[in-house]
Structure 1
Amino acid sequence: MQENFEKWRVGIPDTFYPISELQKYVQYGTVKSYLKDSLVVLPGEAIHKFIYVLTGKLQVNFLFSDGRERMVYFGGEHCMFNYLFQHNSDNRMAAYIIALEDSQLCFFSWEQLEKIFHMDGNLLFEIMKNENAKGNFFMKQAAEMDFLNPTIRIVKLVYQLCVSQGKPVNNHIEVNINLPLRDISEITGAHYATVSKVFCTLNKLHILDRKRDKIVIFDMRKLEELTQETQLFKHDGTN
């Protein structure tokens, strides 16, 4: 069932909006420990619980009826997974949660959360902020898939990598990551040939050089400017 989803860390936040204050109320829930790679929620399982990460990291995946899988998002320390209300009318896919690391979790029922909200009403707004952060992220992703040219989606991914993971080395920036073109294609929704063409173009323009285990950026300013363009190949219908 498990695939190597390390590549998805590139484009998705580790934790959308941590809720540290909820840790004060874990005595009202049920704390459980999970080893790395163990299932927290089985595919399609309805647990009707609110899951709060005390330590470790979880990952939500979709399992499709043909055996394919797709990572949805991660959640690290103080993140939440709202499984109180589960409505899945699509029998072609089922969500499940797996522990990416040894993790300690707290499970809350609706009644337990209601009691906590009476004691600390601000926590309800903190949870709403977490849900809002997730919603905004995925709405933005959906909009970019529809309206951004695939070449620019690739450029934006590389730029985001530089900002989040890049380290200055002499007169350039290095991002130490092994990210195959096929993975970039899957993350951005761009065709493999388009991904290859984009990196060849950026190399020819001496903006960056992609190696097996790193990306070397020579001109960060130009790379940032390209993220504002409508497409990389002006006279090309590449998608």
Structure 2
Amino acid sequence: MTPATSAVDTAPKTYAWEVRATGLSVRAGRRKLAVDGLDLALGTGTHGLLGPNGAGKTTLIRALATVLRPAAGSLELLGTPVGAMGDHRALRRRIGYLPQEFGYYKRFTVREFVEYMAWLKEVPKADIPAAVQRAVERVGLADRADHRMKTLSGGMVRRAGIAQAIVNDPTVLLLDEPTVGLDPAQRLRLRELLQELGREACVIVSTHLVEDVAAACSDVVLFADGRLVFQGTPEALAAAGGPEHPGDSPLERGYSALLSNSAQPGGTW
């Protein structure tokens, strides 16, 4: 890929929704339908994508990252349809993506890794040094920027992954289990960063940790068996449960109540 030699169009654009899915179905592998008939609209803000393991969260995130294409229905990102065919390079310049697992050259320093990812995302060459420095500072790795990736702890590698996801100042930021491996202090800082980023971008955080959503997100999307169970504020999620439902907090009890109801015959999604 040849890096861009001219500035990417950064003029502000207004979208009804940064993400809109209508009847969206996505397969994980050849047969399994991991996302099944999803209707969803997300705008600027920090959105928590909650659900148990196997709910389809990662498949949905990969579809939003244009890694997977829809099997049925429609998906629009930043006003651009995402289909089975087509070149989505221009769209990907506006997206930041942290998968659960990501590859890197172990001999790269943190700075070199984030620089390389900025180059792949076609950040203008003249802008890369400042963009990289800002990204590593925002994830608390400025003092490790010139350390090799192979010397980092698991939590630091995760933070380097977050830095590469935000180096291009994305309009849509997709983070799949970003708090894995982070210690409590680092999780608190990440929550603050997510709130900050959500003021100007559509940030989607996939997690199974209810407390992360409560602390960082203004909107909750609850997902189970490939379908939408609930979308609303953390307060509305908490109000869905009662003392009879399992959980150590009102949010966990609301989460349990909605999942239990969706699993019942005739339960609403």
**TM-score, structure 2 length as denominator?**
0.26
Point out which structure has higher relative CO (alpha carbons under 8 A, 6+ apart): 2
Under a length normalisation based on structure 1, what TM-score does the superposition of the two structures give? 0.28
Larger radius of gyration: 1
